[in-house]
Amino acid sequence: MSLPMDPRPPSPDPWTAFRVTSTKPAIGITVGDPAGIGPEIAAAAAADRLVIDACRPVIYGDEYLPSSMEAARAGITIGAASAAAGRAAYDLIVRATEDAVAGRIDAIATAPIHKAAFAMAGLPWRGHTELLAHLTGAGPVAMMFYSDALRVILATVHIPLAEVPGALTRERLTTVIRLAATELPRFGFPQPRLALAGLNPHAGEDGLLGSEEERTLKPAVAQCRRDGIEIAGPFPADTVFVRAARGEFDAVIACYHDQGLIPAKLAAFGRAVNVTLGLPIIRTSVDHGTAFDIAGTGQADPGSMVHAVLLAARLARGNACKD
């Protein structure tokens, strides 16, 4: 698979000796948008004792760490979106992805990027998920938020709410359900019990409150059940996440971004990890954004970044995540 050409000369591979002599996986940590809290939480995570015990952290973007002044010289203002910051974040993701595809690192954990900064830099991708699928030549991918309390997988991601019903096709739903069934065994669920959240209030109330459940969601569930996948629903979204948190389901397929992320973050904000399903590499990330309002103030909590790196290391070692 080919990646965009990097005009810089190749850097020496510092991991050759390490990979031969150590059983710890090498986890690439990208600093994300250098104008946000990414550099702070990346540095804190790389220095965390739990992280050091679990893996060998490799930071992409050392020049943007709090101890460096390169960001200012590059024309990047802390706490403000800019084309320069968007391009810098993109370049770091490309480098880390190249190294992961080539096997020089075992996984990547990404700090947050800023969608407006990407747009200002002329980049067409709205988030890591879409960009990483492009860079790796992956087929269908899906975003999952993983925590011990709740697992949520998104059927649609970064699109306006008005576009969700049209994007929620039977093909897309069956693809995401199959991805979940295929990938969740790596997380300690060998025969995952899945639930699909309804799009409309009361899951459409048999068509009274919307037709999508009858026309699209129920047929997708029936098709996947015929394929041997343990999937139920669609269930009303106001109760299905509670049922999953209580242990009835191992993961919930949410119809759109906020439907899934509100309960995921309510259940485990700061501990949830964003995982891209369907990639040929391991990629994890934080459960929050760039937090421009506190960037550079020392207030950023690196907890989610630490969890993201630890989960990446655990997946790289092939250990099931469920205790």
**What structural domains and CATH numbers belong to the chain?**
1-138+279-323 (3.40.718.10), 142-276 (3.40.718.10)
d(CA 222, CA 213): 12
pLDDT (mean) for 127-149? 92
Tell me if 271 sits within 8 A of 150, measured CB to CB: no
d(CA 141, CA 124): 17
Tell me if 39 sits within 8 A of 61, measured CB to CB: yes
State pLDDT tens for residues 215-273.
999 999 999 999 999 999 999 999 999 999 999 999 999 999 999 999 999 998 888 89
Residue with tokens 């093909």: 171
Three-state SS string over 63-97 comes to HHCCCCCHHHHCCCCCCCCCHHHHHHHHHHHHHHH
State pLDDT tens for residues 50-102.
999 999 999 999 888 877 656 656 778 999 999 999 999 999 999 999 999 99
Q: Report H helices in the chain.
A: 16-21, 38-47, 49-54, 70-73, 83-102, 115-120, 128-136, 164-167, 170-183, 212, 218-226, 237-245, 257-268, 303-317
d(CA 48, CA 24): 15
56-60 β-sheet, strand order = 56-60, 26-30, 107-110, 283-285, 273-277, 142-146, 151-154, 251-254, 194-197, 231-235
129 or 14: which leads in pLDDT: 129
C-alpha distance from residue 213 to each of 168, 252, 283 (Å) = 10, 16, 32
State pLDDT tens for residues 259-304.
999 999 999 888 889 999 999 999 999 989 999 999 988 899 999 9
pLDDT (mean) for 151-160? 94
Structure tokens at 184: 């969740």
Query: Is 111 a residue whose pLDDT tops 50?
Result: yes
Under DSSP, the state recorded for 202 is G
